[in-house]
Amino acid sequence: MVLWCYGIMVLWQKIFLEEMVLLIYSENTRRSPQSKHHKTRIPKHQRHILTMKRILFLLFLTVPILLIGQRIDGTWEGTITLERPGPKKEYKFELVLKRQGKEVIGTSYIYYEEEEPVAMNLAGWFYYDRSMWLLNKEVLYPDSDPKKDRHIRKYQLMYRRSAFSRDVIEGHWQEKNDPIFSAYRKGKVHLMRKKDEKSKA
């Protein structure tokens, strides 16, 4: 990050100094006797070079921000709600995520009334609009529960960055598979980056 900021400063200084030199050259040429009969302008090839450097500067400034701005690695904490069937219920929820290109892997923790959470691994995809599709693969704990598959679910989430508060992940979940639509369980997810973790941006 320090090297990136230093590179931006150097590039901007170089562009600024070259523009000042060309403006001084243009002004001196305009005042010369030879310029009375024709319009003086910065040479065309110099204008093209300056334009390309401005474009390069904007790319150099923007691309790292876009890439860094999509770092979801870390621990996220918040709530998961059961919206249907009622009554509405809310539980503590955590996600530990790691992104590898478009692929996302991690672990989810749902804290029901019991002290120990239901832990499940998950995997899915991260898209360039910052949306995610995730699916629990298996229940890691409690592994002795004969009905443990009822906890497995799929998620459609959106990652939102903020310059003034903690980053947010929010969206919806549905249970993996239930042939009875009226009993189909679904709800919402709202998470924030864990306080004691620094954002990677």
State the Cα–Cα distance between residues 157 and 141, nearest whole angstrom.
24
Q: pLDDT band at 174, cuts 50/70/90?
A: very high
Poorest-confidence range of 132-136, 177-181, 194-198? 177-181
CATH top-level class of 74-193: mainly beta
This prediction has a pTM of 0.63
pLDDT at residue number 8: 59
pLDDT digits (tens, 9 = 90+) for 103-154: 999 999 999 876 789 999 999 999 999 999 999 999 999 888 888 888 899 9
pLDDT at residue number 49: 61
Of 113, 105, 91, the C-alpha closest to 187 is 91
Query: Is pLDDT at 86 greater than 80 in this prediction?
Result: no
Query: Is pLDDT at 46 greater than 50 in this prediction?
Result: yes
Computed over every residue of the chain, the mean pLDDT equals 77
Tokens standing for 29?
């040429």
| Cβ neighbours of residue 135 closer than 8 Å, sequence gap 6 or more | 122, 123, 124, 152, 153, 154, 155, 176
